[in-house]
Structure 1
Amino acid sequence: MTPRFNAARPTDWLFNTILVLMLGFLLLPILLVVPLSFSSGDFFVYPLPGVSMRWYAEFFNNPVWMGSFRNSLVVALCTMVFATTLGTLAAVGLWRSKSWIGTTATALLISPLIIPVVIVAIALFFLYARLGFAGSMWALVMGHTAISLPLVVLTVGATLQGFNPNMTRAALSLGATPVQAFFGVMLPLIAPGVATGALFAFATSFDEAVLSLFLGSPEQRTLPRQIFSGLRESITPVVAVAATLIIVLATSLLLLAQYLRSRAERLREGRDAGL
């Protein structure tokens, strides 16, 4: 028999070419920032006058930049804990709900993804100002939790679609309490989705600038807010250093989330094959 070859169709080549061009259009401006962080000059300029680590030393030795970096880490970690806990519980409740109440609650929970973040920031500012804790660290954490919660709900909800509810029913029939069934049966099986949602919540909080401008005081200045201030006050390559650190962190978290998703799929395929 004559061997048959699967040649790519012209439409596939066209689609791949358009995809590469779109990715280049989106990523090239971001990647151009990274070499500027190694510039030996005092301004953003190409070609680089030289290569130096002076601006990294300036970043890590500057108390203002390091203070904003620590604030971002604290806010992002607190946001990750609150958003993951509340989002996981909400996703489980919505997964079990079969009525219109669950649909309405889902729409309300994911509304921060639809509403422009500046509108959310203004609304939260007026709310927290009336409650008396605007400009505090808790205001930042609660605001970041509000915009990170939908990502956790969607991620955990997608993982729950492949969960067999008969497993928790079996645990309950054997004498386990609902809490024991959740922590002993359900949570270990959906843990990759929960971890992915936690990573998304951390990355969203760490990279958020608009809420920090409205809700944070000068003492709670985060790294994105400090970058914004640096661009307004004195444009030096130290701003590119901060942006590079955010790019590296976000890329690392996305790769880790992709690894967790792939691992969850392999575990599910192995579990299905063993049944």
Structure 2
Amino acid sequence: MKPLPIAKLFFGGAVVFFLMAPLVAILPLAFTDSVFLNYPIPGFSMRWFVELLTADAWRRSIFNSLIVGAGTTALATVLGTIGSLGLRGKRVSLVFGFVRTIFLLPMVVPAVVLGVGMQLMFAQYGLANTYLGVIVAHTVLAVPFVVVNVTASLQGIDRRLEQAAASMGAAPHVVLRTVTLPLAMPGIISGAVFAFATSLDEVVLTLFVAGPNQRTLARQMFSTIRENISPAIAAAAFVFIAGTLLIGILVSVGRKRALQ
């Protein structure tokens, strides 16, 4: 393998620096003992992580994020997997392209537009200011990520394996359960991780459909920035990033084991 030219290495390093510089700048402030977000850091302390666990507002928001994230992950994974199976093997046509676009539409529609529409609709069905309403709203945004990942995984499955199982007398639901889904599991897991991350990071829809009792961690961070900026925001961001990296590592290890 030929080494990359210096220009490509420099360009790649510049892109990585551009993406990571804001994180590198904010994360050390999670360990400051000051009440202000400023450099140089006067001293190091874990007080802001303790506040995340002891302050009622932060503790409740973390609990709400886990509830909403778990519900969103489960619902989006099931719906996205079913949608991917339905779209699998269809010929490229105008109708197929339209249906596929409908599945991916929430990825490009502004969240404010979705938020206003959901607020009006949820008010009619009694879902406003409820956990179920927030989960449904987050699921709308998370399903496209599941569809993309599962569809890519299904495209890599050799259809002859399923045909062989069917030729031996396996019913369609048995082939699905014992052959198709296990082979597509890496994509399903990846889609579930993206769904959880999407729910964890969503603010705009939460502002429209959630009430005070459903305030998530992302919404709490947004409110804290507007009302009273403190290093607790940096501590929450550190937890966000560390948790995302940990989940990503676990998924990578799981996918490698699944492929072996």
Q: TM-score range by the shorter chain?
A: over 0.9
* Aligned positions of 1:67-82 closer than 5 A: 67-82=60-75
Residue of 52, 56, 64 corresponding to 1:63 = 56
Q: Do residues 47 (structure 1) and 30 (structure 2) align?
A: no
Specify every segment of 5 or more residues in structure 1 that has no aligned partner in the other structure, as ranges. Answer: 268-275
> What corresponds to 2:90 in structure 1?
97
Q: Do residues 135 (structure 1) and 120 (structure 2) align?
A: no
Deviation of 1:205 after TM superposition, in Å, equals 0.6
Specify every segment of 5 or more residues in structure 2 that has no aligned partner in the other structure, as ranges. Answer: none
> What corresponds to 1:20 in structure 2?
13
Residue of 131, 143, 147 corresponding to 1:149 = 143
Deviation of 1:122 after TM superposition, in Å, equals 1.9
Q: Do residues 184 (structure 1) and 183 (structure 2) align?
A: no
Deviation of 1:170 after TM superposition, in Å, equals 2.2
Aligned length: 259
Deviation of 1:153 after TM superposition, in Å, equals 0.5
> What corresponds to 1:247 in structure 2?
241
Cα distance in 2 between the residues matched to 1:152 and 1:70: 24
Cα distance in 1 between the residues matched to 2:52 and 2:206: 20
Cα distance in 2 between the residues matched to 1:173 and 1:7: 49
Kindly name which structure, 1 or 2, has the bigger radius of gyration based on alpha carbons. Answer: 1
> What corresponds to 2:115 in structure 1?
121
Cα distance in 1 between the residues matched to 2:214 and 2:41: 34
Aligned amino acid, residue 154 of structure 1: V
Deviations 1:76-124 (A, max 9, x none): 1111111111111111110132253332211100011111222222222
Contact 1:203 1:253 in 2 (8 A): no
Aligned amino acid, residue 113 of structure 1: M
Q: Do residues 158 (structure 1) and 152 (structure 2) align?
A: yes
Q: Do residues 197 (structure 1) and 191 (structure 2) align?
A: yes
Cα distance in 1 between the residues matched to 2:203 and 2:61: 12
Cα distance in 2 between the residues matched to 1:35 and 1:57: 16
Deviation of 1:261 after TM superposition, in Å, equals 4.8
TM score, norm. by length of structure 1: 0.88
Deviations 1:29-80 (A, max 9, x none): 1122211111011110100010011111111111210110010001011111
